[in-house]
Structure 1
Amino acid sequence: MSSNNPIGIFDSGIGGTSIWKEIHQLLPGENTIYLADSKNAPYGQKSKEEIIALSCKNTELLLAQNCKLIVVACNTATTNAIKELRAKYDVPFIGIEPAIKPAANQSKTATIGILATKGTLNSELFSRAVQTHHYVKIIEQIGHGLVPLIEEGKIVSAEMTALLEEYLKPMVDANIDYLVLGCTHYPYLIPQIKKIIPDHIQIIDSGQAVAKQTQNVLKKNNLLNSSDETKKQIFYTNSDSKVLKDILGFTENVYEKEF
């Protein structure tokens, strides 16, 4: 495996670009290939078997592009499929799961909120994480409808505001002091969320931790890119590329592709 090979990243749509941005900021010397499986979003409503099948399909597409490491930039895919991916493919995988640990350890009210997909909250991995942090009260909320609105480019919309108010108000009333975003789409909602929750509630997502772990695994496997060649950041979506381009803030190397 060449250290010049790209990092592969996939998600059930555009949300994982929040992870790509953190990785690219920390590791600007790396090539990356991003797959937005928007056609099949959201993964959170699908069965475990469907999620594993989609995750294998995405992995194989990235391996065909000679990716040296794969970031599963989707909480639902990580919590439901990463065990199977690691068993099946001979490449390092970086997963992502809700940042319960820092929220639980830092909470002063011993009450934290988690906004995530049904697939993540119902997973065995999530259940184990909750049991580990039994000393805090965890208010769980499925973000029904949030991912489709983000995929449609309706981040700032009346529908989004109504859903966020419905989901967040009970958490505020329950006296949470940390809100964990358990889906990589949700960091794009932070400006909206901040208008609804009080200033003292801290919002946590997993982006920086995933970028750091990616760096650590590349170092450990001697896979950090040391080439002087111009780096490439390539993005593929199997849906309309406009929303992906809008959320990235640029249009170059963003392609529509059937997969």
Structure 2
Amino acid sequence: MHNSIKPIGLFDSGLGGTSIWKEINILLPSENTIYLSDSKNAPYGQKTKEEILELSIKNTEYLLEQNCKIIVIACNTATTNAIKELREKYNIPFIGIEPAIKPAALQTQTKTIGILATKGTLNSELFHNTVLNYEDITIIEQVGYNLVQLIEEGKIGSKEIDDLLEEYLNPMIQANIDCLVLGCSHYPYLIPQIKKILPESVKIIDSGLAVARQTKAVLEKHNLLNNSNTPAKNIFYTNSSPEVLSNILDKEYIAEKKDF
């Protein structure tokens, strides 16, 4: 198999990383992809660094078995806790996803931004080191307890999520944030609910488009862009309920259950 037609591999602790996959698919529609939803082990955000690294290695090795040419860690928690070790261990390009603090810091007028993320991301060394670069900005951190679980249960749009978002976002509003960073790839699916709570003046920032652009840049750098005219093949695997994953995808895509 010629390297350029090999698939892009993506993994996440569940279905949230499909928000990243959608951005990549829009920007690079000719690329074949394989997406792993490790929903059986979701959420990663409450696990130890060692557990997150072990799961990230498992997912990486499965994608390498599928002949992937590049791996996108479509999970903030896995990126911030495991990407350094994965890059040292495997001879393949990795693309990570981190909370978009830099664009928020550049855009804020009130010098106060909010970040909604998992405990694993907010406690990571990588996130801590990133924050140190913005000492002139007030960053209000909030763990999104239970949001990932509810999304994985197919409860997007529910009152349960509305109530949690009110609890998490109202203190940020009172602190006069003008940017909200979504620090988990699951959270873009909550943007309609978030917009009902935030003032219109608050910008919502996520990393999806930036990750897609970085993926394209790395493929170009390594001469791995797929220039064939064959229709792209997009495969979605989950080790939990395929129905929940299928429901969040466009209708032409059906998730398959796999043990990995």
Alignment TM-score > 0.5, same fold: yes
Secondary structure of the 1:29 match is coil
Match of 2:186 in 1: 185
Q: Does 1:51 align with 2:62?
A: no
Match of 1:135 in 2: 136
Shift in Å at residue 88 of structure 1? Answer: 0.3
Match of 2:41 in 1: 40
Change in 2 beyond 3 A, CA 1:252/1:206: closer
Q: Does 1:97 align with 2:69?
A: no
Matched ranges for 1:202-241 at <5 A: 202-241=203-242
The residue identity in structure 2 corresponding to 1:238 is N
Q: Distance in 2 between matches of 1:163 and 1:231?
A: 39
Shift in Å at residue 226 of structure 1? Answer: 1.4
Shift in Å at residue 253 of structure 1? Answer: 4.4
The residue identity in structure 2 corresponding to 1:189 is L
TM-score, normalised via structure 2 length: 0.98
Verify the 8 A CA contact 1:121 1:127 in the aligned structure 2: yes
Structure 2, gaps ≥5 residues long = none
Match of 2:109 in 1: 108
Q: Report Cα offsets for 1:151-199 as digits up to 9, x if no partner.
A: 0000111110110000000000000000000000000000000001100
Q: Does 1:168 align with 2:169?
A: yes
Q: Report Cα offsets for 1:73-108 as digits up to 9, x if no partner.
A: 000000000000000000000000000001011100
Secondary structure of the 2:199 match is coil
Q: Report Cα offsets for 1:114-136 as digits up to 9, x if no partner.
A: 00000000000000111101110
Verify the 8 A CA contact 2:34 2:236 in the aligned structure 1: yes
Q: Does 1:23 align with 2:33?
A: no
Shift in Å at residue 110 of structure 1? Answer: 0.2
Shift in Å at residue 251 of structure 1? Answer: 5.4
The residue identity in structure 1 corresponding to 2:98 is E
Q: Distance in 1 between matches of 2:168 and 2:11?
A: 27
Verify the 8 A CA contact 1:155 1:188 in the aligned structure 2: yes
Matched ranges for 1:143-154 at <5 A: 143-154=144-155
Q: Distance in 1 between matches of 2:136 and 2:253?
A: 48
User: How many aligned residue pairs are there?
Assistant: 259
**Once the two structures are aligned, what percentage of the paired residues are identical?**
69
Q: Distance in 2 between matches of 1:155 and 1:134?
A: 35
Secondary structure of the 2:197 match is coil
Match of 2:8 in 1: 7
- The two structures, once aligned, show a CA RMSD in angstroms of 0.8
Q: Does 1:252 align with 2:253?
A: yes
Shift in Å at residue 148 of structure 1? Answer: 0.2
Shift in Å at residue 243 of structure 1? Answer: 1.0
Match of 2:80 in 1: 79
Secondary structure of the 1:195 match is helix
Secondary structure of the 2:30 match is coil
Verify the 8 A CA contact 2:118 2:184 in the aligned structure 1: yes
Verify the 8 A CA contact 2:243 2:255 in the aligned structure 1: no
Shift in Å at residue 229 of structure 1? Answer: 2.0
The residue identity in structure 2 corresponding to 1:10 is F
Q: Distance in 2 between matches of 1:186 and 1:12?
A: 13
Shift in Å at residue 228 of structure 1? Answer: 2.1
TM-score, normalised via structure 1 length: 0.99
Verify the 8 A CA contact 2:75 2:97 in the aligned structure 1: yes
Structure 1, gaps ≥5 residues long = none
The residue identity in structure 2 corresponding to 1:188 is Y
